[in-house]
A and B are shown apart, each in its own frame.
Chain A
Amino acid sequence: MAEMSHDVIIIGSGAGGGAAAWALSRRNIRVLVLEAGPAFDPLQDYRLQQNDWELTGFPEKPGSKGRHSYAPLQKLEERWQGLRSWSRNQGITVEGDRRAVAGYEHVRGVGGSTLHFTGEAHRLHPAAMKMYSCFGVAADWPFDYDELEPYYCEAERVIGVAGPAVDAVRRRSEPYPLPPHAQGYASRRLGEGCRKLGLNWVANPLAALSESYDGRPSCNYCSGCTSGCPRLDKGSVDVTFIRKALATGNCTVQSSCAVTRIEPGPDDRVTAVHYLDSQGSAHKISARAVVTACGAVETPRLLLLSENNHAPDGLANESGQVGRHFMETVSWTSNGLHPESLGSHRGLPADSICWDYNAPDAIPGVTGGCRFTPSAAESGLLGPVRYAQRVVPGWGRAHKAAMRKTFGHVLSVGAIGESLPNPGSFIDLDPAATDAAGLSLARIHSRLTDTELRRMEFMAGTARDILRAAGAGDIFEEYGSYDRFSSTHVFGTCRMGDDSDSSVVDGWCRSHRWRNLFIVDASVFPSSGGGESPSLTIEALAIRAADHLAQMMDRREL
């Protein structure tokens, strides 16, 4: 008999799980959050005060990286040679004629991948939620932007998002909680370049505090967000939603507890959750509802692993759609040198953004949008070690002299674009690779179509144009996701929709069949958006789904 001491079990404590935990626990619903990874202590674990901070990046702890495998990736083609990653010091950086694996960049831990994100807090472009009806690709969201807007506001208030007062595309019912951050000295150079090209370069909405807020201090612009914020001003989920959920007294978070399966039962309900604790001991627990929030790679894996005679094809997979429609991060980065010392290692990683090509029909001849930001921080070009290795060629006295002339001169433009689903991109269970518990790993199948590559070609060309216009035409390094799979944002593998034959969950993120099973991560996204960072949308979706779940509980429907 499974123990039942909580009303809701949430699997995963990232953007979706954390926001759901807060939204439920504030309504006096008893929540247990099971997190497969460890908890991080920002003051103890993050290393931005240490001399070797560049080499460590975001810290790894036991269990903080999930394991998964990759099916063979596509062959590289001569016609896309302009999208190969290269550097002045090394030439072409991906050997061979086949796309390589850089990895699914994520953090498994309390707070999930928000622990290492740059803090972008984006709302989706409204038109990007209607990709099928307007453009005949991907699928429509089962509701529109206006339905999600109040939940965006709630998430922004919890986090303390700093953003600009004006947004002509994304209607706002209230201003951002905090004023935008001033653009940095180097970012303003990129802005000058954009203006020469007729592009707009505006403040990027960020989950980083421009003023002290909710007991947290304001940002001191160290640019180290991706290494973990020791000040707690970055609005990662651990210091916002989870902290507030714990403060209600209704939420318990158990880290280093890996869920192995959800048990489907009779009457179209899931009846238990099985997990292994940090000591490897097996547990079985029950609750009135189960919410999964493991991300677009691990959530389909868990559902597929959870098959039994009640769900012979895997949990919630009656449509055969679990794992399909995988969408990844379509990205490009160009790094150049400016003749002036800019101190580009300072500031916020992505304090500005160009949204001009974000709409689904904004890029000439290609469906799906993209956006551009400064990217020196995400490129890891913030300290002397990486400058010595990657920016300054050669060795010896000349290298040392060039270091002194070059440090702080890098200008970087990064672009992220829409990822449209295609039949060659999906997640399944690897028949040959298992984890320590003997369970099949998620296997990533990724294929970039010509549409993605033409979009990436536009992104690369525009990034180069911005650098040249900003005076940094001496480009020394470029890389993108054409020749190396590298994804931070993943989507789509448990699609949300009204039709149970073509989707996994309904518009409330509830399984079409399993009445007490919800999914609140980016796996439910029917489309990826035009490069927007997804965490705020995940949080808004999770709050909305949790409110619905709470209402069902109030009505005793669960």
Chain B
Amino acid sequence: MFVSRRSFLKWPAVMWALTRLFPVHASEQVTSQVTDATLGAWFDTLIPADETPSATQLGVDRMMLAVERRDPDYRIVLDFGRKWLDKQARAQGAADFAALDATDRGAIAARAAAAGDSPEYYFFLSTRDEAFAFYYQQPESWPGLGYGGPPQPLGYMDYMRKPTNTVDG
């Protein structure tokens, strides 16, 4: 019930639009320094550092690029995202997305999130869910959540009691 990379790729209309607008050739290398910086800035926009590390500090960008290398279809998605993000940045006079400050990057993310039925919206949804998956499986992301780690081997023998170390809303 969430937009995974796989479910993203099941939307034929989206894939058709992406491949028509942003064809990727098999020989094309898409993991240059510049494009990596764009994606790194994107993931740190989705998951910035605060009390816990940012996405790139936990290697989310490297994990996504590893997926991209294994999965040619996902490469289309990420390559679309890189180009779209940099295009938005250049329209604001910046060299690329990574050159923007956090406020401007956030404004672009907000546009993607509100874009409705469009490639940038599905790029946002897909990378958001993938980034969260990579980020929140790492122990460095857990402080403050009230989550102590995998369910086993300790289980939750306190399951009958009010939880401790949590923040009530």
Which residues in A have some Cβ–Cβ distance to B below 8 Å? Answer: 48-55, 85, 87, 89-90, 93, 95, 182-185, 219-224, 230-231, 337, 339-343, 345-348, 379-380, 382-390, 394-397, 399-401, 403-409, 477, 479
Contact = CB atoms under 8 A, between A and B. Distances in A.
A40 to B, nearest CB: 15
Contacts of A183: 160
A386 B132 CA distance: 8
A383 B148 CA distance: 10
A479 B1 contact: yes
For the complex of A and B, the 7 pairs showing the least CB-CB separation, nearest first, are: A220-B155, A343-B163, A346-B156, A222-B151, A388-B132, A341-B166, A347-B159
B59 interface: no
Interface stretch (B29-37, B40-48, B81-89): B40-48
B145 A403 contact: yes
Given A343-B159, A346-B159, A396-B45, A93 B1 contact: yes
A384 B145 contact: yes
Main secondary structure on B side of the interface with A? loop
Nearest to B46: A395
A184 B160 CA distance: 4
Contacts of B57: none
Contacts of A380: 1
Contacts of B137: 51-52, 54-55, 385
Given A185-B162, A340-B168, A406-B169, A384 B156 contact: no
Interface size of B as a range: 35 or more
A389 B156 contact: no
A400 B155 contact: no
Contacts of A386: 2
Contact of A407 (B1, B3, B138, B147): B147
Interface string B40-65: 00000111101010000000000000
Interface string B125-169: 100110011011111011011110111111111111111001111
Interface of B: 1-3, 11, 45-48, 50, 52, 106, 109, 113, 125, 128-129, 132-133, 135-139, 141-142, 144-147, 149-163, 166-169
Given A220-B157, A395-B113, 11 more contacts: A54-B137, A87-B2, A223-B159, A339-B169, A341-B166, A342-B162, A343-B162, A343-B166, A385-B137, A388-B132, A407-B145
Contacts of B157: 220-221
B160 A224 contact: no
Contacts of A337: 169
B106 to A, nearest CB: 6
Given A219-B155, A384-B147, A182 B160 contact: yes
B3 A90 contact: yes
A399 B46 CA distance: 9
A223 B159 CA distance: 10
Which of B2, B135, B168 has most chain A Cβ within 10 Å?
A: B2
A49 B146 contact: no
